[in-house]
């Protein structure tokens, strides 16, 4: 057996979750901008109020953003901002 076949693989769920959140934000941003909305304002309104009406249903963006908890999006945004500042 090869060394790779006998080693235990480590599943990095945190990295997968972070990547998923980034992809969701990108998708929703693009949908909002295609409809002529300011994506920063609309996403901020949603994150502050938890009101999905801030997110257009265009390209299923509203359902997509609701597939992840709001606090997880906020955590990822704060983490990304702080990592960028280091």
Q: What pLDDT, in 10s, does the model give residues 52-74?
A: 999 999 999 999 999 999 999 99
Q: What pLDDT, in 10s, does the model give residues 14-43?
A: 888 999 999 999 999 999 999 999 999 999
Instruction: Measure the CA–CA gap between 19 and 83, rounded to whole angstroms.
Output: 15
Q: What are phi and psi of 14, to 5 degrees?
A: -65, -45
Domain boundaries defined on the chain: 13-85
The answer to whether the predicted template modeling score (pTM) of the entire model surpasses 0.85 is: no
C-beta separation of 25 from 73 below 8 A: yes
């Amino acid at each position: 057996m090869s060394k790779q076949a006998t080693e235990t693989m480590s599943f990095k769920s945190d990295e997968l979750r972070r990547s998923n959140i980034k992809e969701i934000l990108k998708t929703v941003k693009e949908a909002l901008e295609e409809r002529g909305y300011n994506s920063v304002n609309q996403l901020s309104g949603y994150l502050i109020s938890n009101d999905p009406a801030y997110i257009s249903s265009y390209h299923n963006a509203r359902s997509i953003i609701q597939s992840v908890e709001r606090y997880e999006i906020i955590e990822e945004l704060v983490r990304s901002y702080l990592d960028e500042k280091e």
